[in-house]
Amino acid sequence: MTASQRPWTAFYGPNVRPDIKAAPYRTIGEMIRAVSETYGKAPAFTACLPNGMNGTLSFEDVDRMSDAFAVYLREVAGLKAGDRVALQMPNGLGFPVAAFGVFKAGCVLVNVNPLYTADEMAKQFADAAPSALVIVDMFADKVPAATRGHPIPNIIVTRVAEFLPALPRGIVGLVQKHWDKSVKPVEVPHIRLPDAIAAGRSHQDAEKIEVDSYRQSVQPDDVAVLQYTGGTTGVAKGAMLTHANLLMNMTQTVELAQEFEKGKEVALTALPLYHVFAFSLNLLAFYWIGARNILVPNPRPLSSLKRAFENYKITWMSGVNTLFNGLTHEVWFTDSPPRHLKFASAGGMALQSSVAEEWERITGKPVLQGYGLTETSPVLTFEPLGKQRAGTIGVPLPETMVACLDDDGQEVPIGQSGEIAAKGPQVMAGYWQKPEETAQVMKNGWFLTGDIGVMDADGYFTIVDRKKDMVVVSGFNVYPNEIEDCLATHPGVLESAVIGVPDNATGEAVKAFVVKRDQSLTEADIRAHCKAHLTGYKVPKQVTFRSDLPKSNVGKILRKDLRAQELAQTAAE
Amino acid sequence: MVSPLEQAVLALMIFAIMLGMGASLTPRDFYLALRRPYGLIIGLVSQYGFMPFIGFMLATLLTVPDAIALGILIMSCMPGGTTSNIFTYFSKGNLALSVLMTVTSTVAGIVMIPLVLVIYASALDLDIPRENIIATLVLLLVPVGIGMVLRKINANVGAVTEFIGSVLGIVFILFLVVSWIPRNWQFLLETSSATYIAAIGIGAAGITIGYFFARALKLHPRNARTVALETGIQNGPLALAIIVFTFPEEEAAALTAVPVLYSLFIMFIATFVTLIFRRANTAAEQKLPDGLL
């Protein structure tokens, strides 16, 4: 790659290396070990609950506990290198311990959305075939239904207040059990995470096990994480992110930002860590730079973040448009905005210019927009600090080539739109056991994003449209096929089509067009049916009944015609 | 009426509760309430402007004996009580504003209570027991201060203190109601309906007028809810102390009827209002789409 092909390198900060040949570590396990030794007793993770109760693990603690968990996985649970371990929990101290343990054991981490319904979990489990599942107690009641037909041999149960000091942990436990009733009894044979760690530790001490030996066989190009994105056919599709993918993306992102001081940052993690954006940036990149990570289990209602902002000197946070927009409308936030913030990073969905402006007006610090996909570990582009341009997704990261291509795979001239394609060390190895799906997005060395964009003469990119039918609701991908499949199982539905429509709150929202079989079918019926089978963000926000749907001459439903009609209607209003 | 032991237990409970309330606050909360003092000013006007007037109207319109009428007047010109802070906390109002309002109205009470009574009861020579005023302030400010320091030192200690304080708060309210009714049963049966109306009316009208006054002056709904509770919830024990200190025993018994009844019914009214305010607070919360988690 030469500078002339990458006009954006002129907009990098003075110390940014445009080319990064190799990641600083071979594997994520190696990174965790090295970083833990550097920062030792400094706080690495603090879980902060809405009422301010909290617990902290130092780098040393996380290192030691994840070692023990790795030993548990390998010696007690009997897993081998390359076996999958599913992790299904909200942000909390159990997350880094379990995730890092999986990497140290040489196993593959599978992130699962804790709010998934049993149906959705079952699809993902069937595809990934995990040998172990670490799940939060609040959702463990879904396990029997989700594992029917393909049992998971090892179930490890954790909790929201895991590893908090005994008194707050006890109080949270009592409140969850007797007040919210959010914790139900776990019906399947299982072990608690602290017990698993204790078992691993006693094994480690008794047998004098060298945890480092587990990852000796692991290569940089081996899969580290299966990150699911849903699938065009409604079947779960796991992006294989290798150790090199994730370590490089972490290095590239930190390289472009340049603003971070090692060992000094305090990051607010309000986005869920099971989502690739927070996983890569907050969990891995900020661990690497020795930051203290403030983990918030659930940012809803937004007042749950109040104590985290009051009690910790947050220097950086990641978020999605929805979160930034919401915070700018909270009186407690606008009254006392974080004073130590350097800047914030937005991803997952388009950041509205009005939100970015309002945020900067209130906090005095910019929110920079980035762009990427699950398949690219995830970051491809980011706005460089001090040279941000509202409305753009910024410039490509170091060691990354991004271009807009026409239908023949040729680069379009500057200023013209084309499908955004990328090359770089962060591009996934492919979809797990789906060579055909992989071939569709990997062409001539490019990864095709499905987004239509424009590059200006300086190398800043702007998203203008999307090629795929996928809908992005507040940072989460929704595939119309999956929703239509679900609608088809309702006896009152003859046929349906699902598209994304612009939405002020979520960027895009799911809209379903339904042709009735049973004339008494109501919108509420449709919503209740979807709610029973799909996670909340996938449930259609709008439902319109029609007598027919636009179809091609071979009978294929034309979503693009519906979209065009919808846009014309919105424009007319 | 209340034995010294019970009084000590109640004081200890209030101390523990206010410790918990304090642990939910930061110095910045007070700074913000002081930086924009409209809330505080509106509260004071409400407290010493509207409340005595409500009392005066009730005393005039209802046909009650003079002693009861005087009881109504005294009750209505009391400063805000600590209980208002507890209810503000539970209604998710602006606790710092509530505490500041209690403090200012209590301090201002030294001047304002006699002044207001001069206006409405023409030169009534009341003995304001300063030690009670001081005790109220100490019982409020000392634990709030300690609570804030606890939180600053260790957020977990703060959060646990807050949790215990809030549980005690509920126990405290229940305890007052449960212990009050059986021992005053006879008194409840003998009291006239006009006295009931007055005792209930002071609190109910105070909360309602305080709320709409604050809203009319464009106070944020959360602050308006705080002003409402602060205005309607008076310092009942202070009224009792003033009466006992000022009047001979045979007169005092009749005079205390309204403050005693008020103290019971304000618990019901404030609990009811708190539930409404909590709902309003939840309804005003931003609806976040599912995508974020």
pLDDT in tens, A468-483: 788 888 888 888 888 8
In a domain, A375, yes or no: no
Residue A114: exposure state from Cβ atoms within 10 A (0-12, 13-18, ≥19): buried
Check residue A280 and report its DSSP letter.
Answer: I
Band of pLDDT at residue A208, cut at 50, 70 and 90: very high
Helices B95-121 and B82-90: angle between axes, nearest 10 degrees: 140
- Does residue A518 lie in a domain region? yes
DSSP designation for A458 = T
Do residues A165 and B156 make contact, with C-beta atoms less than 8 angstroms apart?
A: yes
The amino acid at A309: F
A170 shares contact with chain B (CB less than 8 Å): no
- The C-alpha of A561 sits at a distance from chain B's nearest C-alpha, in angstroms, of 26
Residue B293: the pLDDT is 46
Q: Which residue has the higher pLDDT, B126 or A547?
A: A547
**CATH code, A493:** 3.30.300.30
Q: Would you say A28 and A224 are in contact if contact means Cβ atoms under 8 Å apart?
A: yes
**What is the least distance, in Å, from the CA of B144 to any CA of chain A?**
17
Decide if B289 is inside a domain.
Answer: no
Q: CA of B151: which chain A residue's CA is closest?
A: A311
CATH code for the domain of B10? 1.20.1530.20
**CA–CA gap between residue A62 and residue A69 (Å, rounded):** 10
Give me the torsion for CA of B111, B115, B116, B119, rounded to 10°: 180
Chain A residues with CB under 8 Å of B159 CB are 49, 51-54, 168, 307
Number of domains in chain B: 1
Residue (of A132, A82, A104, A110) closest to A204 by Cα position: A104
> Would the CB atoms of B293 and A272 count as touching at under 8 Å?
yes
Each residue's pLDDT tens digit, A494-541:
888 999 998 888 888 999 999 998 889 999 999 999 999 898 889 999
* Nearest chain A Cα distance for residue B143, angstroms: 19
Residue A325: C-alpha distances to residues A368, A507, A526, B292 (Å):
14, 11, 30, 12
Max intra-chain CA distance, chain A? 74
Using a CB-CB cut-off of 8 Å, the residues of chain B touching A54 are 155-156, 159
Determine, for residues B293 and A300 on separate chains, whether the beta-carbon distance falls below 8 Å: yes
Identify the residue with better confidence: A467 or A559.
Answer: A559
pLDDT for the residue A554 = 60
Residues of chain B with Cβ-Cβ distance to A171 below 8 Å are: 160, 163
* pLDDT at residue A2 tops 60: no
Please answer yes or no on whether B290 and A271 come within 8 Å at the CB atom.
no
- A152-173: per-residue pLDDT in tens? 999 999 999 999 999 999 999 9
Question: How many Å is the Cα radius of gyration of chain B?
Answer: 19
Interchain CB distance below 8 Å, A52 and B155: yes
| Closest CA relative to residue A139, chosen from A131, A149, A147 | A147
- Closest residue in A to B26 (Cα) is A310
Residue of A nearest to B164 (CA): A171
In a domain, B286, yes or no: no
Which residue range forms the structural domain that includes residue A563?
471-572
- A-chain residues near B162 (CB < 8 A): 51-52
Contact yes or no for B291 and A475 at CB 8 A: yes
For residue range B14-38, what is the model confidence (pLDDT) as tens digits? 899 999 999 999 999 999 989 888 8
A336 touches chain B (CB under 8 A): yes
Return the higher-pLDDT residue of B179 and A75.
A75
Give the Cα separation of B154 and A216 in Å (integer). Answer: 42
Q: What is the pLDDT of residues B151-195, one digit of tens each?
A: 999 999 999 999 999 999 999 888 888 888 888 888 888 888 999
Q: Is the residue at B293 inside a domain?
A: no
Lowest mean pLDDT, pick from A233-242, B54-63, B284-293 = B284-293
Q: Residue A433 domain-assigned?
A: no
Using CB atoms, pick whichever of B155, B162, B163 lies closest to residue A54: B155
In a domain, B264, yes or no: yes
Nearest to A474 among B155, B222, B289 (CB): B289
Domain range spanning residue B248? 4-276
With a CB cutoff of 8 Å and minimum separation 6, the contacts of A64 are: none
Name which of B26, B156, B293 is nearest A115 (Cβ-Cβ).
Answer: B293
Report if residue B111 sits inside a domain.
yes
CA distance A328 to chain B (A): 11
B285 falls within a domain: no
DSSP three-state, residue A433: coil
Give the number of beta-carbon pairs within 8 Å between A and B: 92
Give me the residue from A90, A171, A476 closest to B291, CB to CB: A476
The minimum CA-CA distance between A55 and chain B, rounded to whole Å, is 8
Chain B hits for A116, Cβ within 8 Å: none
Least confident of A174-183, A378-387, B95-104: A174-183
Distance, in angstroms, between B154 CA and closest chain A CA? 10
Q: Which of residues 423-482 of A touch B (CB under 8 A)?
A: 473-476
* Chain B residues touching residue A55 (CB < 8 angstroms): 156
A550 falls within a domain: yes
Those residues of chain B whose CB sits closer than 8 Å to some CB in chain A are 26, 28, 32, 151, 155-156, 158-160, 162-163, 220, 222, 285-293
Q: Do A51 and B286 touch (CB under 8 A)?
A: no
Task: Decide if B286 and A536 are in contact by the 8 Å CB cutoff.
Answer: no
Average pLDDT estimate for B192-220? 94
Query: How does A460-487 read in b/e, with b if 16+ C-beta sit within 10 Å?
Result: bbbbeebebbbbbbbbbbbbbbbbbbbb
CB burial of residue B146 (10 Å; 0-12, 13-18, 19+): middle
pLDDT in tens, A94-123: 999 999 999 999 999 999 999 888 988 999
Is A141 part of a structural domain of the chain?
no
